[in-house]
Structure 1
Amino acid sequence: MHIHKEGYKSIAIGAIVFAVLNLLSFYFISSSLPIVSLLIFIVTLGTFLFLISFFRVPNRVLTTGENLVVCPADGKVVVIEEVFDEEYFHDKRLQISVFMSPANVHQNRNPISGEVIYNQYHKGKYLVAWHPKSSTENERHSVVIKKGNTEILVKQIAGALAKRIVNYLKVGQPVAQAAEYGFIKFGSRVDLLLPLGTKVNVQLNEVVKGGVTVLATLQ
């Protein structure tokens, strides 16, 4: 396991805040209110360790396969349904959505290999990530990856806590299945828009792992 590069700045700031708060607590509170000083230490240490945990990237054996759609994010499957896509396809697609809690790994991975043919950032709201309208109204970043005649749209969606979406892809760029393509900070979700008729390999509320779980099989 290692720490993601997107976490370096946040962890450094967290370490400074942790040190300053506890130094102040030691000098001004510990002698008169030792229990309060201990509580401050426990709470700040727990918060700092959680911050480090948020940016973790575990070592994994990644899944790849010619017709497989690999999960782009850790979390829980919250949507499996047909939807009408107004952004890119302008027709019906099969949507699979994965909700990421703050406790999940937040690195995002390519569901298939192919070429990036569309990349668009959209400003928006910060509705809770499981809200039905978060897919179309929240801050989001959409990417379409084309492999042969198949096109898949992957949408990073900000949630109520997530205020920054990081996307490393560019139009015309070739990408490898299960390789990293982005990161979302502090709670969010990822939507996949697949061709109708795609075989779904997961169920609602199933816990999935980015780069490991096979969400669907292309027909």
Structure 2
Amino acid sequence: MNFSIRKECAGPVAFFLLLELIFWLGSRKFPWLIVLAGLSGLVAVFSLYFFRDPERKYPEISSQGIENFILAPADGKVLDVSSENGQPVVRIFLSLFDVHLQRCPLEGRVLTTYWRPGKFLTANNPRAHQLNEQNEIVFESKYGQYSVTQIAGIIARRIRCWVEPDQSVQKGERIGLIQFGSQVDLKLFGGVEVLVKKGDKVRAGESIIGIIPKR
């Protein structure tokens, strides 16, 4: 698999390497600190792994009876598939070991981005999408409006959004990052046939989670 490491890893990696050095120096007087030095080094290495940015390519599908298809906006496990006012909603939980980049599920134009402060409940909490800090990105596509919401968790407390209003975004393009465990919600427009169910594993920019039938 081809992948790179995001530059956002610099801060966490530098912090834990500094801790490792401090604990290592301190271990000369307090030998037990060598354990903390080792743990700090492991966390620094894990941070490099966490900020990996793999290349993704979505599969080709038959166009017979299909107008277009929708990709998963995030890696992780589907927490829930529901409907709100006739609009399908797919909620995805990202564990510490998932890639935490978000990708555009369907080509379109960014209408608005809206950041809302909130709590830091565990990302798989049923009320996390209502109460936690989050950033909603609303898109306009040729089929209708949809949104991708980045939701912070108990560990994830930094949301990065890389798009802005009036920006055109292509399917599969990187749109943001949530640092450490989190949740991403995709609210679609009516008429989409959702292909995933609760418990399914998906990959951003690669897994097809819905189709738009030809009318």
Query: 5+ unaligned residues in a row in structure 2: which ranges?
Result: 62-66
Distance in 1 (CA, whole Å) between partners of 2:133 and 2:33 is 40
Distance in 1 (CA, whole Å) between partners of 2:33 and 2:153 is 34
Label 1:41 to 1:82 Cα distance change in 2 as closer, same or farther (>3 A): same
Label 1:64 to 1:124 Cα distance change in 2 as closer, same or farther (>3 A): farther
Q: Helix, strand or coil for the counterpart of 2:40?
A: helix
Distance in 1 (CA, whole Å) between partners of 2:56 and 2:104 is 15
1:16 is matched with 18
Label 1:63 to 1:23 Cα distance change in 2 as closer, same or farther (>3 A): farther
Match for 2:138: what amino acid? V
Match for 2:92: what amino acid? V
1:164 is matched with 158
Does residue 139 of structure 2 align to residue 145 of structure 1?
yes
Number of matched pairs: 206
Q: Quick check: 2:105–2:172 contact (8 Å CA) kept in 1?
A: yes
Q: Quick check: 1:123–1:140 contact (8 Å CA) kept in 2?
A: yes
Runs of 4+ in 1 over 6 A off after TM superposition: none
Q: Give me the CA root mean square deviation.
A: 1.9
2:8 is matched with 6
Label 1:195 to 1:9 Cα distance change in 2 as closer, same or farther (>3 A): same
Does residue 110 of structure 2 align to residue 108 of structure 1?
no
Distance in 1 (CA, whole Å) between partners of 2:29 and 2:69 is 59
Q: Quick check: 1:70–1:216 contact (8 Å CA) kept in 2?
A: yes
Residue deviations 1:139-164, cap 9 Å, x none? 11111111113211111011111111
Identity over aligned pairs, percent: 29
TM-score scaled by structure 2? 0.88
1:132 is matched with 126
Residue deviations 1:110-135, cap 9 Å, x none? 11111011211111111111222221
Query: 5+ unaligned residues in a row in structure 1: which ranges?
Result: 31-35, 84-90
2:54 is matched with 58
TM-score scaled by structure 1? 0.86
1:174 is matched with 168
Does residue 116 of structure 2 align to residue 122 of structure 1?
yes
